[in-house]
Structure 1
């Protein structure tokens, strides 16, 4: 199997172009909202709260890394937690620079594991995907809690209704799709192989037998992980704890700028809802997430567009750009090691 890391110059240029376009969009949005007010709001930032928000993001990633560590042990993949934390930060970097959200880290992290351990690429990928699915549980739970609180207090504004329905659709649809993919795995396997056969006829790089073998190994790995329910409960507990620290930076962003009305219960809905905008075709959803946060904050709190954008920018510094820098440093170390 070819274990070369699939990063080329064209991919790098696409990522940089995505950041550039997102930056231009945010500049024009800030100009429309009142660039002077945005700058004045940011100028009053309390950097102590900014540091607290960055610490919260660090704890979030460490806890999610621990959840993944539990899943790996169940899968029979032996790797020290200290070493794994660096690998997880590197995978976060790969995810955060990939357009359309969580699409880049899984192959990267499976590649690194297959180089660092005795596990196959398929076993590594199965453990990564399982950990990602576990992280979706608190995503839905916290968003449901936050949405319930908002509905109990008052009716949800129209600007937030579409995101609320999107969360509801994901909360129902994703578990159903996962369950169907497992229940009808033979049908899924057959469908994938039917798609692969025409490709296999025109290139020697892909073979039907090879794909079938990898699908079987992937499902076998999922089966082994699912058998240890006690370990899965522990992993889910770490995933929930990680999500608390993932959402809190939005609250800390409000404290950084002295903006009232952004309470912890509110962020439980706003953060998951804005995450849906991470599916925009830009690295880490840059531009889309900020605009979604502005729409939600203006709809749910007594702040202006400019102040909401300021809060969104500070939140993204804590939760995205800080993780991107730390993850990038970790990625350099991981690639050098592997």
Structure 2
């Protein structure tokens, strides 16, 4: 099969011929139909360090964890609910299936978890990939393969908004109008938030936020952000989402937040950061770090897409084939208007 292979930090991915995967016990093999490029993969391939609490990539691994596909092979021990030809997406890990985290639908906390993008579990920047039968989820006919590849980033936003304990009358401020920030905006509006303000240095991304429910755009390059917020809402925001994940953005969130506000950190910062705890303490802020999602979150997102209650398709900026993919991947490491680029191998 063709796959885009990681070679070394900062270098282009290389398209190579690799052996087709074979399913192990309780696994499925999918023909990949669509796979999105995630910011985490961009960071990991470029400047990730173990010191930051993240794992290092191994040369020869295949990234890609936002995907959908069709079952082409079924391993031993897989239940009868799975058939070849079935359309699915999957959680990006394979857990043991027996421990408490696995039973709770959070296999990424399993002590023996296999992490996608490792040498043990190649990712979906490829024509085929393995998934755990326990981590696979059926896609109804009303959910396209492209939408299926967007379930993962939509579930990240869904989990973050759930953790925010949203009160619909309280204005929300979202820092960052990338795919995760726009996912958060969509869910805030879905759950009835009246005022959803969003900021981004990219004018194109900020302009796109209206399609995801943002009611006002804040331009950080156009003056003091706190003053701009007060132009739209009478008091500082009581819920702030940091969907940027760069050094300094947590301190910005603390500065913008109202007393007793809740800050949800969703952006993945892989570098050390400094902030002033006293500023957060004096405001008595709650700060919550939101990582990913449960299997139940995936199920809810799939259901809502299938029922046409949400449609994340406008996240897609462009689609590329395997030969174009390494250049497209590299281009996303620089600021630009793209939101979600899909590999369709």
> Is the strand fraction higher in 1 or 2?
2
TM-score range, shorter chain: under 0.3
> Is the helix fraction higher in 1 or 2?
1
What TM-score comes out, normalization by structure 1 length?
0.23
Q: Find the structure with the greater CA-based Rg.
A: 1
What TM-score comes out, normalization by structure 2 length?
0.22
Relative contact order, higher structure (CA 8 A, sep 6+): 1
